[in-house]
Amino acid sequence: MRLTADANKFGLFAFMTAILMTAAMSSAAEDVVAIRQADMKAMAAAAKTISGMFKDPTTYKANEFKWAADTIRDRSGGVLSVHFVSEADSRQSKAGPNILKERERFDSIANDLRDYAVALDAAAQNNPGQMSASMRMKPGEAMGGGPLGTHVRNEQELLAMPAEHAFHLMLQTCTTCHAKFRME
């Protein structure tokens, strides 16, 4: 009898442990979803800040521009990628199931985002006073883009283009990833 009671106790213990572990794991998954969604919102706010300065260059402030670029830089690339490695997503996530299958493509878009953010940071450092004409796109300047056009080919090309151009390609990078990897 005694043995059975102990065995039952152990069974209950194992059962409770399993429940607690499942709860801990699913709350970790929810945490990562909350973090990556908060990061995305922070990047959206930063992009809005930069966009406002290109729309009205008199509002340009190098330190705010740089801070916004760094907000995106610090939440893209590998930082963004590692928030999307687990299949144990909670239900309130809009992350596409294809992220795991198309890992390289996802990571490469995340890295492009970071490259553009780094270029914008450099532009702010090179233009501490006013927003220079060299930061702006010339009227009618070819935008490039298209489905594969947002990929950063090399650093020289990136640093040679006006910051405004890099910014537009950055926004296309957001859109490209969402179209492919975010569910409606």
- Residues near ligand HEC (CB under 6 A) are 33, 36-37, 40-41, 43-44, 47, 72, 80, 93-95, 106, 109-110, 113, 173-174, 177-178, 181-182
Task: Compute the least distance from the CB of residue 131 to ligand HEC, in Å.
Answer: 20
Distance CA(173)–CA(167), nearest Å, equals 10
Tell me the helix, strand and coil percentages in the chain, rounded to 5: 70, 0, 30
Contact (CB, 8 A) for 29 and 90? yes
Shorter beta-carbon distance to ligand HEC: residue 90 or 132: 90
Task: Compute the least distance from the CB of residue 33 to ligand HEC, in Å.
Answer: 5
Shorter beta-carbon distance to ligand HEC: residue 104 or 139: 104
Shorter beta-carbon distance to ligand HEC: residue 132 or 145: 145
Apex CA 159: angle with CA 181 and CA 170, to 5°?
20
Distance CA(183)–CA(89), nearest Å, equals 13
Shorter beta-carbon distance to ligand HEC: residue 43 or 124: 43
Task: Compute the least distance from the CB of residue 92 to ligand HEC, in Å.
Answer: 7
Computed from CA positions of residues 64, 69, 137, 155, in that sequence, does the dihedral angle turn out positive or negative? Answer: positive
Task: Compute the least distance from the CB of residue 107 to ligand HEC, in Å.
Answer: 8
Task: Compute the least distance from the CB of residue 111 to ligand HEC, in Å.
Answer: 9
CA distances from 99 to 56, 86, 170 (A): 37, 10, 20
DSSP of 14-55, one letter per residue? HHHHHHHHHHHHHHHHHHHHHHHHHHHHHHHHHHHHHHHHHH
Shorter beta-carbon distance to ligand HEC: residue 60 or 81: 81
